[in-house]
Each structure stands twice: as structure tokens, then as C-alpha cells.
Amino acid sequence: MNEASDFLLTLAEQAGQAILSVYNTDFSVRHKSDQSPLTLADTRSHAIIAAALRERFPDIPILSEEGRAVAYSERCRWTRFWLVDPLDGTKEFVKRNGEFTVNIALIEERRPVLGVIHVPVTGVSYLGEVGRGCWELENGRRRPLHLEADPGRRPLRVVCSRSHASPQLEELLARLPVHDRVARGSSLKFCAVAGGEADFYPRLGPTSEWDTGAGQAIVRAAGGVVVDPTGNPFTYNKEDIINGPFLVAPSLAWLRRLGLV
């Protein structure tokens, strides 16, 4: 771990505390133009993260869900930028089930290379530095995370969203051998794979780049892959920041063995 990683971990924890200060009140919920929920916790977390990143890394631009919309004509020149979801899983936040996170990722040449996911309710954080390692951090303890390229276990453990089931997902799951389902909200699905609690996370419905950047960095750093349904690496800073379908798994070879790519 390096100085930048330590800074991001502390920053995510600070944002998490701001989120909890709202979570523990009778907060109100507004809705954005796409009907997704928005709370004071989202905006407070964004303000803390954006201000700290600008002060510490003034030359690195920021793309945040709750920040200003940045035209592709400007973004297309970025080779390095911060990708932030100040409160991933606002639906879970509103439901008060604790399964929401703070996501911060560094994107270089369209690929996530550093990611932090912090879980405010539990205090657990996940850190991935591609090429250096992946860790779960809790109460001052650091547990290295590393995936087996082909876990080979039965039944498979498939992590699925609590809020986004679909007929397309059911069709894909029907192609798998015997498996158990693990339910998780927000980017905790990436953490479940990286941490060895699940083997596979398929997502066929739409997400935005800030939903996936930190999780992809963490899975990659643990030795896993995040690919599209043809097996190509998942990339960022697209003209349209809405993601297509993706698969999170221990390795590309594992996906091929199961006939999924």
C-alpha cells in the first residue's frame, strides 16, 4: 500500500461518517430526472470527496455521480481521472439495510488501476491496487485477498443484486451447473467475489461507470476479471457512461470453461 491508497481509505471513511450522520436521522428522499433516489447523504459525501481530491491531486480531474456533468468533448482528452460514486446503493440506504458503499477509483488509459470501497455501517473497507495487491481492512487489520483462477467448487456461488432482478439474468443462470445465490446490494457484489464469498457476479442490466470502477479495480487486483459477454476487458470514459452487460469472475479461463464467453 502507498501514501495515495492510505489517503483514499481515510477519505472514504470520512465520507462514510458523513453518510451515517444522515442515515441515523429521519432523512428525506428526492428523485433525479432518471427517477433514481437522492438524499442529503449523497451530496454531503460528494462534497467531502471532491474537495479533498481537488486539494491533494489538483491536476487529476474528477467524474462523480453527484458532480457536474462533463461533456465527452472534454473527457475524451482525459488519460487519468478519479471516478467517484459518493453513495453507491442509495436504494439500500433508503431501505436501511446497511448495504451501501463509498466508491473511489483511479482510471488510467480507460482501465481502473486503484479502487477503494468503504462500507459505512460495518466500517469495513476494500482496497485494490492493480499489480500490487488487494486487501480487506477492518479495525486496523489487513487481510490480503487473492482469487483462485479456477475454484472448481460445487455448488457455484453466484452473487446477485437485491434490487435489479431480470428475465435475462434468469436465462443466464439457467445455463449454469448447480449453484447457490448470494444476495448483496451496491458494489458489495464485487467485494463478495474478491473476498471469496462468491464465485461469479453477472450483471446484464444497465449501470453507470461510477457504479463499477472501484469494484473492478478491486477484483482485478485480487486476480479476477471484469469482462463484457464476449470476454473483452471492461473499459471506461466512454462517450456514453452507461455500461453494458458484464461478468465478474475468477478468470477468463473459468468463464470459458463454463461456456459463458
Q: In angstroms, rounded to a whole number, what is the distance separating the alpha carbons of residues 239 and 167?
A: 28
- The model's pLDDT over 234-256, given as tens digits with 9 standing for 90+, comes to 999 999 999 999 999 999 999 99
Average pLDDT of the residues of the chain = 94
CA–CA distance, 97 with 114 (Å, rounded to integer): 27
- Peptide bond before 155: cis, by omega within 30 degrees of 0? yes
User: 144 φ, ψ to 5°?
Assistant: -65, 145
Local structure of residue 173 (DSSP, 8 states):
H
Comparing C-alpha atoms, which of 256, 2, 261 is closest to residue 131?
A: 2
- Give dist(CA 75, CA 239) in Å, integer: 8
The average pLDDT across 14-20 equals: 97
Could you tell me what percent of the chain has a pLDDT over 70?
A: 98
pLDDT number for residue 47: 97
Domains of the chain: 3-144 (3.30.540.10), 156-257 (3.40.190.80)
pLDDT tens digits, one per residue of 55-87: 999 999 999 999 999 999 999 999 999 999 999
d(CA 93, CA 56): 29
- Give the residue with greater pLDDT, 174 vs 250: 250
Closest C-alpha to 74, from 246, 206, 237, 243: 237
Query: At 16, is the pLDDT very low, low, confident or very high (cuts 50, 70, 90)?
Result: very high
Pick from 213, 215, 214, 207: nearest CA to 237: 213
pLDDT for the residue 1: 63
pTM: 0.95
